[in-house]
Structure 1
Amino acid sequence: MSTAADHKKPPVVVIGAGIVGVSTAIWLQRDGHDVILVDRAEPGEGTSYGNGGVLASCSIVPVTVPGLLRKAPRMLFDPHEPLFLKWSYLPRLAPWLRRYLAHCTPEHARRIAAALAPIIGDSLADHQALSAGTGAERWLTPSDYVFVYNDRAHFDGDVFGWGIRKDHGFVWDELAGEALRTYEPALAPHLGFAVRLAGHGTIIDPGRYVKDLAAHVVAQGGRILRGEATDFVRKDGRVVGVRIGGETLPCSAVVLATGVWSKPLCRKLGIDVPLESERGYHVELWEPSVMPRAPCMIASGKFVMTPMDGRLRLAGIVEFGGLDASPSRAPFDLLMRNVRAALPGLRWKDETEWMGHRPAPADSIPLIGKVPGVEGAWLGFGHHHVGLTGGPKTGRILAQLVSGRKPNLDLAPYAPSRFQ
């Protein structure tokens, strides 16, 4: 005699327990799905751990702005610039790099910004909705986001990017001279101009935030499985299982959200994504003598100083060198030189260092949506610098798609089919 349990629908398997995967799992549970999170590490220990911690809604302008082609060679040979390359990796990087740099035009930059804005433009509200009632909301703080320049002429040099932000409805206050000193007295005297954007937010401990969200998934009846997904089991054109460590985990659907590690599994699904690791670095200064009142992007060094729980996190730097090479010393040293210049007199008790991997598609637009030609398979990765910022909205969209609902958003720019 069969029971209701015998006919229970298999769970949705979400591969990847970073911010995108955990957000997807929570929204799936709120839609009534049974969920299993799979990751080879503990939740929140990958790229989601080491980001700058800013809910950077205004960060819709891609790295590939007009002029990058002219500036990049000089930047690579200048130890004071935040762009690094492990030269031995260049032959492997070259095919991706050609496609990436082909987007350094005004038209492409505006198109990419138009795609990013719906995913990250309301990040604070998206995180508030995601974290409500989970216990993770204690790590979420509304804040300004401040871009600091040497002077107004320095700011005017970024007119293209600020024009894009203005076109998408972002507004800001200008702070100069005494107004800037009053707002942020710790800044060095040579930093004389800033723009302040309200309505942003800070995650004051990104790793703990994602772990608490994952704990909520478990508290709501979900499971977290430690292991590495290696393949999919298909039947009649539909994914019905995930291969993990020689075993098969049955599923009703699968969501792939493993960031830069998604490429091999995408190939199993018939998609070859031009995806590279954009290696990011951070240094944390514990018990600092000075703490900025809000996250500050120091434009001259392209790094952000974020006040966090008990420490100041310095994050930024772009390095290309693949997934396997060990961290480089120079990016850490540059972050330290930059913060000493920005906050003279800063002292701290201890410091920690981290390097991680941002998932960078060649067109700078994340993949969000159905795998073409495969039923029950969905992708959510490729957010470059804004994975934390866009994770909750991406997870909500994916949960809607798995549930058979149509999001109130044109998903064409994010379609995985563009790389089929």
Structure 2
Amino acid sequence: MTTVVVIGAGVVGLSAALALQARGLTVTVIDRSGPAAGASAGNAGAFAFTDILPLASPGILRKAPRWLLDPLGPLSVPPAYALQIAPWMFRFWRACSPRAVAASTTAQTALMDLSKAELEPFLAATGTAHMLAKRGNLQVYEGPDEFRASLPGWQARTDHGIEFQHMTPGEMADVQPGLAPRFTHGTFTPGWYSIADPKLYTEALATRFRANGGTLRIADAAAITPTDTGATLAFTDGTTLDACRIVVAAGAFSHRLARTLGEKIPLETERGYNTTLPADAFDIRTQITFGGHGFVVSRLSTGIRVGGAVELGGLSLPPNYKRADSMLRKAQTFLPGLNPQGGTQWMGFRPSLPDSLPAIGRAKATPNVIYAFGHGHLGLTQSAGTARLIADLVTGATPALDLSPFSPQRFQGFA
């Protein structure tokens, strides 16, 4: 019998698999398409440890009506999906109350702290430390009103001891030359790290996992059944695999497996879009966040990536690459020297829960199945911390932080 099966070969699943190997366990990773085939391939490459504020917040509620009027704006819901996502949106709205936001921020901060503490030892242990860069992040604002609206969030970071510096246009130009003059204010956070390229990093984790003796199998997991000695994983081709423990880290598809265990977890997908331009498209010196427009521009070892936004459109609707085109046009306006030619477009599924926190914990039906999904925009950021927690749960160690805010059962009664 395989000791542990991890379902999902994205950055969270492979990080967990490596952490389990480090505890001396035999691990098999299952993925329907292979390493870095989903959101782990196309994210912005940031370890956003200072991004402690949940997406579900009063600020988003204030912006949402304006954004939703623009079908290519920072937040959209395709009409064909509006009815299906209504229950999730109701829970998102409830999570935007001040009390809920305070609780989510506390939990998010704890997971960020753990993930930051675990990251560099994890990179060293997996031979990937050379892929880490510490360029920081520059958040830019169009005018004093937008800047003032951001200040409560920066106060929350101050309360946690996060380092940042508000900047004048001249100071911003020293950090990142070439910004359009429309950006009158900025805030630089040096504690924002980057990876050379998220796809190459995840593939490197897969290579290390195999080198450690792990098995990576391409197969489509269909259902999980508890057994007296663990759990059985059934595949769409009719075969099965027995394991002592199963870790579900299948990203936006994870809730389908949870349903086979009788759990209805409100996992949705924030469909993200980007365009990756050639490396000489612009002199990017730090990741730039255009928060009022919902996207970032970042430098990777493989090019310049322009991407972000949130399209709540599920797993089945065809991509709308006009959203990537729109962000690229804006980026060219915001960075007048940007060359928009020669780019490659991408769309991926970010697995998200209504309160902006992941599900990390045991299945209700059996303690032998453990969930690790729903990280939203922060899968890469929180991957090393989540891996530590999964290794603790599988081996029976006391988890490194209180997992009650991340309980998969916190959405009991979801229909």
**TM-score normalised according to structure 2 size:** 0.94
Question: Which one of 35, 48, 66 corresponds to residue 40 of structure 2?
Answer: 48
**1:393 aligns to what?**
385
Cα distance in 2 for partners of 1:69, 1:390 equals 25
**2:247 aligns to what?**
255
The change in CA–CA distance for 1:289 and 1:226 in structure 2 (over 3 A counts) is closer
**1:184 aligns to what?**
176
The change in CA–CA distance for 1:71 and 1:240 in structure 2 (over 3 A counts) is closer
Confirm or deny that 1:15 pairs with 2:7. yes
Q: What is the percent sequence identity of the aligned residues?
A: 36
**1:414 aligns to what?**
406
How far does residue 192 in structure 1 lie from its aligned partner after superposition?
Answer: 2.5
The change in CA–CA distance for 1:80 and 1:149 in structure 2 (over 3 A counts) is farther
Confirm or deny that 1:158 pairs with 2:150. yes
Confirm or deny that 1:139 pairs with 2:131. yes
| SS of equivalent to 1:350 | coil
Question: Which one of 316, 320, 342 corresponds to residue 308 of structure 2?
Answer: 316
Cα distance in 2 for partners of 1:269, 1:144 equals 42
How far does residue 162 in structure 1 lie from its aligned partner after superposition?
Answer: 1.9
| SS of equivalent to 2:402 | coil
Question: Which one of 256, 272, 277 corresponds to residue 264 of structure 2?
Answer: 272
The change in CA–CA distance for 1:363 and 1:312 in structure 2 (over 3 A counts) is same
Question: Which deviates the most, 252-261 or 326-335?
Answer: 326-335
Cα deviation per residue 1:61-89 (whole Å; 9 max; x = unaligned)?
12222143343222111356311221011
Question: Which one of 335, 338, 341 corresponds to residue 327 of structure 2?
Answer: 335
Question: Which one of 258, 277, 288 corresponds to residue 285 of structure 1?
Answer: 277
Cα distance in 1 for partners of 2:276, 2:115 equals 24
Instruction: Look up the equivalent residue of 1:307 and give its one-letter code.
Output: R
**2:221 aligns to what?**
229
How far does residue 219 in structure 1 lie from its aligned partner after superposition?
Answer: 0.2
Question: Which deviates the most, 338-347 or 59-68?
Answer: 59-68
Question: Which one of 207, 219, 243 corresponds to residue 211 of structure 2?
Answer: 219
Cα distance in 2 for partners of 1:408, 1:46 equals 28
Instruction: Look up the equivalent residue of 1:363 and give its one-letter code.
Output: D
Cα deviation per residue 1:116-163 (whole Å; 9 max; x = unaligned)?
112223545433222214333332212212111124442111223222
Number of residue pairs aligned between Structure 1 and Structure 2 = 411
How far does residue 181 in structure 1 lie from its aligned partner after superposition?
Answer: 1.5
Confirm or deny that 1:306 pairs with 2:291. no
Instruction: Look up the equivalent residue of 1:286 and give its one-letter code.
Output: P
Cα distance in 2 for partners of 1:235, 1:178 equals 64
**2:359 aligns to what?**
367
**1:4 aligns to what?**
none
The change in CA–CA distance for 1:195 and 1:69 in structure 2 (over 3 A counts) is closer
| SS of equivalent to 1:388 | coil
**1:6 aligns to what?**
none
**2:231 aligns to what?**
240
Cα deviation per residue 1:362-399 (whole Å; 9 max; x = unaligned)?
22211101112403110000111111100110011101
Cα distance in 1 for partners of 2:65, 2:281 equals 37
Confirm or deny that 1:174 pairs with 2:166. yes
Cα distance in 2 for partners of 1:142, 1:122 equals 18
How far does residue 281 in structure 1 lie from its aligned partner after superposition?
Answer: 0.8
**1:99 aligns to what?**
91
Moved over 4 A (4+): 122-125
How far does residue 110 in structure 1 lie from its aligned partner after superposition?
Answer: 1.6
Cα distance in 2 for partners of 1:51, 1:298 equals 16
Instruction: Look up the equivalent residue of 2:155 and give its one-letter code.
Output: G
**1:58 aligns to what?**
50
The change in CA–CA distance for 1:80 and 1:96 in structure 2 (over 3 A counts) is closer
Cα deviation per residue 1:328-360 (whole Å; 9 max; x = unaligned)?
133112211221121102125510011111111
Instruction: Look up the equivalent residue of 1:186 and give its one-letter code.
Output: G
Contact 2:42–2:348 (8 Å) recurs in 1: yes
**1:403 aligns to what?**
395
Question: Which deviates the most, 153-162 or 267-276?
Answer: 153-162
Cα distance in 2 for partners of 1:350, 1:135 equals 32
Cα distance in 2 for partners of 1:319, 1:131 equals 32
Cα distance in 1 for partners of 2:147, 2:112 equals 23
Unaligned ranges ≥5, structure 1: 1-8
How far does residue 250 in structure 1 lie from its aligned partner after superposition?
Answer: 1.8
The change in CA–CA distance for 1:409 and 1:254 in structure 2 (over 3 A counts) is same
Contact 1:124–1:142 (8 Å) recurs in 2: no
The change in CA–CA distance for 1:315 and 1:42 in structure 2 (over 3 A counts) is same
Question: Which deviates the most, 125-134 or 352-361?
Answer: 125-134
